[in-house]
Amino acid sequence: MASITFKGNPVTLLGQEVKVGDKAPNFTVLANDLSPVSLDNSKGSVRLISVVPSLDTGVCDQQTRRFNEEAANLDNVQILTVSVDLPFAQKRWCGAAGIDKVQTVSDHRDLSFGEAFGVAIQELRLLARAVFVIDSNDVVTYAEYVSEATNHPNYEAAIEAAKQAK
pLDDT in tens, the chain (166 residues): 678 999 999 999 999 999 999 999 999 999 999 999 999 999 999 999 999 999 999 999 999 999 999 998 898 899 999 999 999 999 999 999 999 999 999 999 999 999 999 999 999 999 999 999 999 999 999 999 999 999 999 999 999 999 999 9
Tally Cβ neighbours within 10 Å of residue 5. 15
Residue 116 dihedral angles phi and psi, to the nearest 5° = -65, -35
Judge whether 101 and 73 are in contact, CB under 8 Å: no
Q: Which residues contact 159 (CB under 8 A, 6 or more apart)?
A: 48, 70, 73, 74
- What's the one-letter identity of residue 121? I
Q: Which residues contact 85 (CB under 8 A, 6 or more apart)?
A: 54, 55, 56, 93, 104, 106, 108
Judge whether 121 and 13 are in contact, CB under 8 Å: yes
pTM across the whole model: 0.96
Catalytic amino acids? Answer: 60
Q: How far apart are CA 141 and CA 21, in angstroms?
A: 6
| Torsion sign across C-alpha atoms 49, 30, 14, 54 | positive
Q: How far apart are CA 131 and CA 144, in angstroms?
A: 5
Beta strand 9-11 with 13-14: parallel, antiparallel or unpaired? Answer: unpaired
